[in-house]
Chains A and B, each alone.
Chain A
Amino acid sequence: MSRSSKQAVPEVKTMNAELFTLTYGALVVDLLKDLESEEEVNIQLQKIGYNIGVRLADDLLSKNPHIGRCTDSHQIAEVISKQALKAYLGVTAHVSLSNMLPNEFSLILDSNPLVEFVEIPPKYSKLCYSQIICGAIHGALEALHLQVNAVLVSDVPDQTEIRVKFIRILREYMPTGDED
């Protein structure tokens, strides 16, 4: 980690995309073998995504200081679809607001590197393969004090679509003083 005296452009390390896809696939298969129930696997993938997301929020903000505070859900959707997904998965998504309530939006990924070679057999029809992305969105927005619900609406073989719904703004903590 060396830095020049000016603000250094962070180097983008590239890795083999197939290795990434295969690693994720191996993780899902291992979870299926250990837990044997698709619902349990979905819950675990959500948790793993959540832990990743909580840390990704700070990473994205530190690398992109020009991303200002978002004042409405539309801006948040834009940042996630055009910047965050691009930075971390290398893909963009488009935001769909049709048939949505005001606090909801849908992200439809143009392509999904996680499901590159994947076809889900009928016996695992209840598996939400890309659940980790939902978990990451949930974790990252929670780090930004917004409670949301991110649900995988459709996945491989169709386009991956995630519906995000805002629940509430989380209150900021105050440390307890001596008077309490």
Chain B
Amino acid sequence: MTLFNFYLFNPKGECICYKEWRRDNPCDIPQEGEFQLVFGMIHSLRSFAQKIVTRDGQQQIKYFKTSSYKMNYMETATGLKFVLNSDPDAVGIPELLREIYSIFVATVIKNPLVDIEAPVASSLFHSKVDELIRAHQSFA
């Protein structure tokens, strides 16, 4: 049971934070390309979900699961997108994503000197998120 990696996209679609704790397969495309790929996939998934829906109301993507990982997703009304790849049996991830959101708000959003759309430079944010992930029950 483990947590693999984490992406945070700003409302413009740029990846402002990428964290990795375990990656067995190195990626063969450059990192910038990988971020665009992940974002493009999320964007398409969202519009697909909205088009195919049989009931009224806003659709929220929660996760997709494959045999070796589960991609958890959370989106805020302000356009921030949180993506966390975890073990398929991991539990408690939605709460974990909400906690990462509150850490982001406390360290980045509330700091008036920081540009909220730029890549996260706050070392406090990075260390707090790391600490949170390592202490989580789903982290090996």
A144 at the B interface (CB under 8 A)? yes
Residue among B12, B57, B80 making CB contact with A175, cutoff 8 Å: B12
Residue among A5, A55, A63, A145 making CB contact with B102, cutoff 8 Å: A63
Q: Is the CB of B39 within 8 A of A175?
A: yes
Q: How far is the CB of B72 from chain A (nearest CB, A)?
A: 15
Q: Is the CB of A62 within 8 A of B101?
A: yes
A99 at the B interface (CB under 8 A)? no
Q: How far is the CB of B104 from chain A (nearest CB, A)?
A: 8
Query: A62 contacts which chain B residues (CB < 8 A)?
Result: 76, 98, 101-102, 104-105
For the complex, give the distance between the alpha carbons of A1 and B79 in Å.
25
Name which of B80, B95, B102, B105 has the most chain A CB atoms within 10 A of its CB: B102
Question: Could you give, for residues 66-94 of chain A, a 1 whenever the CB lies within 8 Å of some chain B CB and a 0 otherwise?
Answer: 00010100000000000000000000000
Residue among B14, B36, B101, B103 making CB contact with A177, cutoff 8 Å: B36
Q: Is the CB of B109 within 8 A of A55?
A: yes
Specify the chain B residue showing the minimal Cβ separation from A55: B109
Query: B13 contacts which chain A residues (CB < 8 A)?
Result: 173-175
Interface residues of A toward B: which range? 20 to 34
Binding site for A on B (CB under 8 A): 11-14, 36, 39-40, 43, 57-58, 76-80, 95, 98-99, 101-106, 109-110, 112, 116, 128, 132, 135
Binding site for B on A (CB under 8 A): 1, 3, 5, 7, 10, 51, 54-55, 57-59, 61-63, 65, 69, 71, 143-145, 172-175, 177
15 A-B residue pairs with CB within 8 Å: A5-B135, A7-B98, A10-B102, A55-B110, A55-B112, A55-B116, A58-B80, A69-B77, A143-B78, A144-B77, A144-B78, A145-B11, A172-B79, A174-B13, A177-B36
